């Protein structure tokens, strides 16, 4: 009887020791995997000259912001770089239920952004459940080749590592913090895009208004007999010439902005995605930027000359 007890105790100790050794090995393996993935990410970002101003991190993901070049990088072993002007929508999905969603021409669902880093407050549209089977952030873009980017925070793989996931689990709490901050940051980018677009349109509207007012003033002088028909036509031509000159200046400024972008990584990313084909690259630039093929070719030629 005593030997049986001793055997059971020894067996128990062996099982415990093996469990500890297994946990240490798994931990070491995961650490090595993460380290290798991070190194690959850093190499890719360095090659693309991506310099982050802000980084949002979770256990398996990093979302990085490059304010100067107006780019967003999603990193999880593989790096995806998204230009700000391509971002259309962002959404947090838990257990297949949308809990927050916002984007171009869309009201924010499930709450409003508050605070510097974009804390989310307000009502939630999700169904109540303490068990979490999935949690992801989705980013929708205007890029036809890659319109959807998914950040998987709780998946079958994470559940296999972490076990059953409940809302009081520290990993879930940290994942939701990460999701909320990514969502708020992406929404801030979308709102910035909207503001820039509105400012451009307001400038054009103001220019059109000034042009009409000048013509109306000139016409009144003619009706009052202060100037002749010939003087009216001459004055009108001057106003038209000045308006066209302003438009040419605006177009020149826009071209200069595009040339500055050429020095960044955006065209390099497009060129690489087209497998080095010059023709396909010009077509892609034209589609993404909404410009003609001739302008797209000029942008590409300028980039190619500088790189």
The span from the CA of 1 to the CA of 221, in Å, is 121
Helix axes 266-273, 229-262, angle to 10 degrees: 70
pLDDT grade for 118, boundaries at 50, 70 and 90: very low
Report which of residues 304 and 127 the model is more confident about: 304
Its pTM stands at 0.54
Which residue, among 72, 35, 34, 78, has the nearest Cα to 50 in the 3D structure?
A: 72
- Evaluate whether 38 touches 45 at the Cβ level (below 8 Å): no
The span from the CA of 251 to the CA of 288, in Å, is 18
Whole-Å CA distances, 180 to 46, 59, 133: 28, 15, 18
Residue boundaries of the structural domains of the chain: 85-193, 217-306
The span from the CA of 266 to the CA of 300, in Å, is 11
- Evaluate whether 122 touches 133 at the Cβ level (below 8 Å): no
pLDDT grade for 123, boundaries at 50, 70 and 90: very low
- Going 241 to 242 to 243 to 245, the CA torsion angle's sign is positive
Whole-Å CA distances, 290 to 4, 143, 269: 81, 12, 17
Average pLDDT over residues 191-218: 70
pLDDT of residue 153: 93
User: Cβ of 282: how many Cβ atoms within 10 Å?
Assistant: 22
The span from the CA of 181 to the CA of 174, in Å, is 11
Residues constituting the chain: 307
The span from the CA of 188 to the CA of 186, in Å, is 5
pLDDT grade for 292, boundaries at 50, 70 and 90: confident
The DSSP 8-state label assigned to residue 116 in this structure reads T
pLDDT of residue 32: 52
Q: Is 165 helix (H, G, I), strand (E, B) or coil?
A: coil
């Amino acid at each position: 009887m005593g030997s049986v007890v001793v055997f059971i105790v020894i067996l128990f100790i062996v099982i415990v020791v093996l469990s500890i050794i297994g946990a240490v090995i798994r931990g070491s393996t995961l650490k090595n995997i993460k380290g290798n993935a991070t190194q690959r990410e850093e190499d890719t970002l360095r090659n693309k000259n991506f310099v982050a101003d802000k980084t949002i991190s979770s256990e398996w993901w990093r979302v990085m912001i490059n304010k100067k070049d107006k780019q967003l990088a999603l990193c999880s072993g593989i790096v995806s770089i998204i230009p700000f002007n391509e971002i259309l929508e962002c959404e947090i999905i838990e257990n297949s239920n949308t809990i927050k969603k916002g984007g171009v021409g869309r009201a924010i669902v499930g709450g409003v952004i508050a605070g510097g880093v974009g804390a989310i407050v307000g009502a939630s549209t999700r169904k109540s459940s303490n068990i979490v089977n999935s949690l992801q952030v989705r980013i929708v873009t205007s890029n036809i080749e890659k319109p959807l980017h998914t950040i998987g925070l709780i998946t079958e793989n994470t559940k296999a590592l972490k076990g059953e996931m409940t809302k009081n689990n520290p990993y879930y709490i940290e994942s939701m913090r990460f999701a909320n901050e990514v969502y708020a940051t992406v929404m801030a980018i979308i709102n910035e895009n909207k503001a820039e677009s509105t400012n451009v349109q307001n400038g054009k509207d103001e220019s059109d208004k000034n042009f009409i007012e000048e013509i109306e003033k000139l016409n009144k002088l003619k009706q009052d007999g202060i100037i002749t028909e010939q003087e009216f036509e001459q004055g009108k031509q001057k106003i038209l010439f000045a308006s066209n000159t302003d438009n040419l200046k605006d177009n020149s400024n826009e071209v200069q902005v595009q040339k500055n972008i050429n020095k960044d990584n955006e065209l390099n990313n497009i060129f690489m995605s087209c497998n080095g084909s010059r023709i396909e690259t010009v077509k892609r630039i034209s589609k993404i930027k909404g410009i003609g093929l001739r302008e797209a070719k000029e942008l590409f030629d300028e980039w190619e000359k500088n790189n």
